[in-house]
Amino acid sequence: MMKTTLTQLTLAVLLALGLSACGGGSETMAADAASTLAAGAGTGASTGPRAKALSAALAAPAAATAAVDATEAARQLMDFAEVTFPGYFPPHPATLSAEPFSFRYYPDTGAYLGVVTAAGTPYVHNGIYVMGGPFGAAPVLVGQVTDFITPVANYSLALSADRTPVQQGSTATLKATLTRQNGFTGPVQLVLDGLPAGVTSNVITIPAGSSTADIRLSAQTSAPHSLPTVARLRAVNGSDVLHQAVTVTVRGAPGDIDTSFGGGVNITPVGYEDYANAAAVQADGKVIVAGSSTMPTGTFVSLVRYRRDGGLDTSFGTDGKVVTQVGTRSDAAAAIAVQPDGKIVIAGASDQLTSGLDFLVLRYNADGSLDAGFGSGGKVTTAMSGDTDRAWAVAIQADGKIVVAGESNSGSTSGIDFALARYNSNGTLDAGFGSGGKVITPLKSNTGRDSIYALALATVAGEQRILAVGGDGDFQAARYLPDGSLDAGFGNGGKVMALFTSSIGGARGVTLLPGGQAVLAGAINNDFAAAQLTANGTLDTAFGNGGKFVQGVVPTNWDSATAVVRQADGKLVLGGWAYSGNSSAGDFAALRLLPNGTLDASFGTGGIVIHPTAAGTKGDQAHGLVLQADERVPTVRAIQAGEANGSNHDFSLIRLWL
């Protein structure tokens, strides 16, 4: 049972302490926290001014102690703290134990909350300790469990899930299971408070002698998309109140723009003219977009980082933006990858004057500064030939080596060819790959154009092999062994050509399947297209029409897929652009395929969505597409990045519900 007056007073004291705390909190492993708490207990750590202030606030008669297991009482206390003080203890980390403590660590705030569950130790039995974050580096004893709650011994409650999304105009159901204890047989009422706007729940009673009930959450059709919202479930029987946190999120239908992501459409000007070519998601959910921006002295590489739920991440670069000049006239980023250590790798092209356009590779630290341990001050340029070279794709191998791929102009010998370079983790060329770290592969005869636009690292026979896809006129692919030689077990001598026997189109993205297949996506005859290859490079006839799929997003105009991602359920999302109506002004576009290569009718309208991000009839085009997981909902959504034409072209970013 909650002690209302005491809780309000304690909250005021905690807020005062949080504002005045000068400690920065601990970043140690959670297991080390118990040792730190133990070291401070009984040594004066709980006798400072903050502890005394809390002691005064807690100077109220303690409630009668219920016959509740100490670990269960600690869990109830920590659940209560999360519901009552979510700013300090955001739900819901795991409960850990290290004698004599039961405790939780809250990485978002740096705070630890622990309860002493064993008697006969130097620590206060049932004592509550806080430390880290706003509470400072030393542990503080803030009272005992019964100063805050009366542990409920008559029953406990479990939900089928502690997080659930509910779609606009729909209902989600949680099953509540009541475990009765100590002979209790009475009714228990379940009430949910603090739900997102537009969401209601039924108020139900689990009758005497019963143990289960369904909690139905209903979202109005007009309910706004919400960020994950922690609601409070109360299980009430007379003076006994059990509190449990449940996270509820209002979501849109598959294919809808998520308006909880920075308002829906995130437009970001960087320079005079800005073009976003690629996107990546960090482990913390933040989104990085890379491309080029025209500045007063030339066109340079530009990056923008967004917070997990949209809006610029001001901890990155300058107010969320980074602009990097490499050459004297023109630089552009075409691809991006994030290393496991959080460093950011960019691939593109730089005009080096005497050698023309060359491969460009940049590596940044997590804060947006260039990584001085890579190349020359974080920058590497590589001339693949004596003519024009452009990198369009990048991948990070398991051993940390960096593969960059694109095109190189071999002139009258073979035209524009597939080109790859592999770099060691310090930015030097890997001499064990190809010739001095470089590989150039002609696919078409004579002087045709062969360009790599996407890479995937396929594990074959226990080793990572490099799958490169692209083409100009039709889909092309080549697979390479770790040393850079063509993989003879793929296609025809390592190459796959003319999948659609087309002269207009090419592959722009690739994703791998668990069975070793690969799905290539792009355009054929100015329509969205995809092809699924078996592990040996032949068309997989279980997909689409003989292994191929072609769909006009706008049947009377041009459209193109520029990227593809695979959901955990096997569905494929192709993202790109479409010219709407009879104009040449593009819009963001996407479609979703079932695993068998047919349109998924549950996505958008008949499997297709078109989303203008520029005002009126002005053009916008999407290039990057990446999945963003969110354990808070839980869900996975798709991020599309490109540019929108306002008074000038600016970075444009949206998030789609899947």
Sequence-separated contacts (24+) of 397-400 with Cβ below 8 Å = 397/457, 397/464, 398/457, 398/464, 400/339, 400/425
Burial profile 129-138: b = 16 or more Cβ within 10 angstroms, e = fewer: bbbbbbbbbb
pLDDT of 43 above 70: no
Q: 395 and 401 in contact (C-beta within 8 Å)?
A: no
pLDDT for position 622: 96
pLDDT digits (tens, 9 = 90+) for 551-576: 999 989 999 999 999 999 999 999 99
Provide, rounded to the nearest whole percent, the portion of the chain with pLDDT above 90.
Answer: 71
pLDDT of residue 225: 98
Phi-psi region for residue 627, left (φ > 0), alpha (ψ -120 to 50) or beta? beta
Q: Confidence band (pLDDT; 50, 70, 90) for 64?
A: very low
Give the pLDDT band of residue 412 (cuts 50, 70, 90): low
Beta strands of 314-437 (E only): which ranges? 321-324, 331-338, 344-351, 357-364, 379-382, 389-396, 402-409, 416-423
Q: At what angle do helices 4-20 and 49-57 cross, to 10 degrees?
A: 160
- Tell me, what DSSP letter sits at residue 35? H
- What is 48-111 written as a DSSP string? SHHHHHHHHHT-SPPPPPPS--HHHHHHHHHHHHHHH-TTTS-S-PPPEEETTEEEEEETTTTE
pLDDT of 615 above 50: yes
Instruction: Give the pLDDT band of residue 239 (cuts 50, 70, 90).
Output: low
* Residue that is written with structure tokens 């590596």 in the block: 363
Tell me how far apart the alpha carbons of residues 112 and 105 are, in angstroms, rounded to a whole number. 5
Supply the pLDDT for residue 54: 35
Q: How confident is the model at residue 447 (pLDDT cuts 50, 70, 90)?
A: low
Instruction: Please report the pLDDT score of residue 75 as a whole number.
Output: 85
Q: Of how many residues is the chain composed? A: 658
Q: Is the pLDDT of residue 14 over 70?
A: no
pLDDT band at residue 152 under the 50/70/90 scheme: low
pLDDT tens for 364-373 read: 999 999 999 9
pTM for the model: 0.80
Query: Does residue 452 sit in helix, strand or coil?
Result: strand
How many whole angstroms separate alpha carbon 124 and alpha carbon 103?
15
Q: Taking all residues of the chain, what is their mean pLDDT, rounded to a whole number?
A: 88
Q: How many helices (H) and strands (E) does the chain have?
A: 5, 42
Which region among 109-118, 226-235, 352-361, 627-636 has the lowest average model confidence (pLDDT)?
A: 352-361
Q: How far apart are CA 545 and CA 531, in angstroms?
A: 9
pLDDT at 45: 40
